[in-house]
Copies of this chain bind each other. A is one copy, B any other.
Amino acid sequence: MKYTNQRIEILEFLKEFDGHPTVDDVYEGVRKKLTRISKATVYNNLRFLAEKGLIKDVNIKGVSRFEANLVPHHHIICIGCGRISDYESEELTDYSLKIAGDIEGFEVETTDTNFYGFCKECKED
């Protein structure tokens, strides 16, 4: 794999971004440093990096979002505003993996749990 400027900046952006940016978020963010980068390059690299396992494609509510946090974790998703937060719980991951052992004929590699509900702001409405 080649470490081009574009690739490095995209990875860097994802690592520093606090949240789960969409393709456009990544494009706009990276463009601040690499003004001439094309959106196709962003798409191609996000796909490429996800296939290589260097980032994760978190597809929620029909929108592709990305994250560079590779530590197993869960997602808290607000039904109201769509905001996504990470939630780390080794306990829950372990519990799920224990259960996964009972699924016949299927070899589980990873697992994650989604929590759907309302965040502080949206709860008030």
- A residues at B contact (CB < 8 Å): 57, 59-62, 64, 76, 78-79, 85, 87, 89, 91-92, 95-96, 99-100, 103, 105-120, 123
A61 to B62 alpha-carbon distance, docked (Å): 9
Q: Is the CB of A117 within 8 A of B107?
A: yes
Q: Is the CB of A115 within 8 A of B111?
A: yes
> At the interface, is chain A mostly helix, strand, loop or mixed?
strand
Kindly identify which residue among B100, B115, B120 contacts A115, using a CB–CB cutoff of 8 Å.
Answer: B100
Q: Is the CB of A115 within 8 A of B103?
A: yes
Kindly list chain B residues whose C-beta atoms are within 8 Å of the C-beta of A85: 106
Q: Is the CB of A103 within 8 A of B87?
A: yes
Q: Is the CB of B103 within 8 A of A109?
A: no
Q: Is the CB of B118 within 8 A of A107?
A: yes
Kindly list chain B residues whose C-beta atoms are within 8 Å of the C-beta of A99: 89, 91-92
Kindly identify which residue among B92, B114, B118 contacts A95, using a CB–CB cutoff of 8 Å.
Answer: B92
A76 to B61 alpha-carbon distance, docked (Å): 18
Kindly list chain B residues whose C-beta atoms are within 8 Å of the C-beta of A103: 76, 87, 115
